[in-house]
């Protein structure tokens, strides 16, 4: 009971703008799955070629938020036990609902009768991997995300593995050495991606190959926890805005020229989203923060976890039932059905809030 009270009472300051950052992240994911992925070869898919990076934004934000909490309360009595309990209460209940929904939907449909439901349920990873958050490892070995119903859960596995490592680092690494260690991990990530680049999928779904995003957020948390560094950044927001412009220019070039930085893609995106979060936090009166306070974006951010978990299932079930194929936009009717799936995802997000 003591741990429960500690977990519930931890006085973490809420920054409303970060709900908007979550909203931006899930918006990018929805654009990728509901527009880009359903309109392959169109100008829409070319314009949104990097919207898959919404997951990178989630990773950087997660690293920043959890790093801020752990750095601030380092050494607190039973805090690390409370940390894991808070994470479990936040992640596990809705994840369990998703897994149960998957089992019931799969049993109801039995053998998928059409290509749409086969796309949604076909070739899943072993169920025990989803229950143990090890599906990303099996996905990397199989070089596929498996059943699309649960395919997006690879990122939850990455996060859970990150949760096991981060508190230990902050607990045992001296505060002055921690930023340097984090920078080392960030530099190591592209090298690890280069080692598995021949397979490709490994670099996308394994935790060690994504630590530049996760530990980039933690490094930002460490920097902003230092009063001198935070004060320096607060008086130099123009510098941050120039940095954001440079990262965005690179993002635009990659999109328009259909090019890639190879193993540095995720590192560049981690820099982009890290600077964005820094601006949101230190320039509360600036235009970026005002945008992130937009009610609709913040409201979407509050629902982001639930929408993320269920949006592929909703879309696949609807398109499979109506058009008997995977989600595809090639007509007004299919576009309207995708809009209905979007509304359904938002509705279930509110219901599971």
Q: Among 39-48, 119-128, 155-164, 216-225, name the one with the lowest average pLDDT.
A: 39-48
Tell me the pLDDT tens digit for each residue of 233-292. Answer: 998 899 999 999 999 888 888 777 666 677 788 899 999 999 999 999 999 888 999 999
This prediction's pTM: 0.91
CB-CB contact of 273 with 18 (8 Å): no
**Structure confidence at residue 282 (pLDDT):** 93
Give the whole-angstrom CA distance, residue 312 versus residue 43. Answer: 22
Question: 10 falls in which pLDDT band (50, 70, 90)?
Answer: very low
What mean pLDDT value characterizes the chain? 87
CB-CB contact of 214 with 62 (8 Å): yes
Give the whole-angstrom CA distance, residue 274 versus residue 292. Answer: 15
- Whether 159 shows a pLDDT value over 90: the answer reads yes
Give the whole-angstrom CA distance, residue 215 versus residue 63. Answer: 6
Task: Give me 308's structure tokens.
Answer: 């993320």
Task: Give me 345's structure tokens.
Answer: 């995802």
Give the whole-angstrom CA distance, residue 65 versus residue 186. Answer: 17
Tell me the backbone φ, ψ of residue 48, rounded to 5 degrees. Answer: -105, 30
Give the whole-angstrom CA distance, residue 19 versus residue 24. Answer: 9
CB-CB contact of 142 with 347 (8 Å): no
């Amino acid at each position: 009971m003591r741990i429960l009270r500690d977990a519930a009472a931890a006085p973490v300051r809420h920054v409303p703008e970060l709900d908007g950052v979550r909203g931006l992240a899930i918006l990018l994911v929805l654009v990728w799955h509901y527009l880009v992925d359903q309109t392959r070869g169109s100008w829409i898919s070319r314009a949104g070629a990097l919207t898959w990076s919404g997951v990178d934004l989630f990773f950087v934000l997660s690293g920043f938020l959890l790093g801020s909490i752990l750095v601030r309360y380092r050494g607190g009595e039973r805090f690390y036990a409370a940390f894991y309990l808070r994470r479990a209460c936040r992640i596990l209940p809705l994840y369990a609902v998703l897994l149960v929904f998957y089992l019931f939907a799969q049993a109801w449909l039995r053998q998928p009768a059409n290509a749409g439901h086969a796309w949604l349920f076909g070739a899943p990873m072993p169920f025990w991997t989803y229950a143990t958050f090890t599906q990303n490892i099996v996905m990397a070995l199989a070089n596929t995300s498996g059943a699309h119903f649960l395919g997006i859960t690879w990122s939850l596995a990455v996060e859970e593995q990150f949760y096991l490592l981060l508190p230990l680092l902050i607990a045992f690494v001296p505060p002055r050495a921690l930023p340097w260690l984090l920078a080392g991990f960030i530099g190591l990530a592209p090298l690890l991606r280069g080692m598995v680049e021949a397979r490709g999928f490994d670099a996308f779904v394994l935790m060690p190959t994504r630590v530049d995003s996760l530990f980039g957020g933690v490094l930002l948390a460490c920097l902003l926890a230092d009063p001198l560094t935070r004060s320096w950044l607060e008086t130099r927001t123009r510098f941050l805005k120039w940095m954001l412009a440079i990262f965005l220019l690179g993002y635009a070039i990659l999109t328009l020229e259909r090019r890639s930085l190879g193993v540095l893609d995720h590192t560049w995106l981690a820099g982009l989203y890290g600077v964005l979060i820094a601006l949101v936090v230190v320039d509360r009166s600036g235009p970026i923060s005002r945008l992130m306070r937009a009610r609709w974006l913040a409201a979407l951010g509050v629902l982001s976890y639930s929408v993320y978990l269920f949006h592929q299932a909703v879309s696949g079930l609807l398109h499979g039932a109506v058009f008997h194929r995977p989600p595809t936009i090639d007509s007004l009717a299919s576009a309207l059905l995708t809009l209905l799936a979007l509304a359904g995802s938002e509705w279930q997000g509110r219901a599971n809030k």
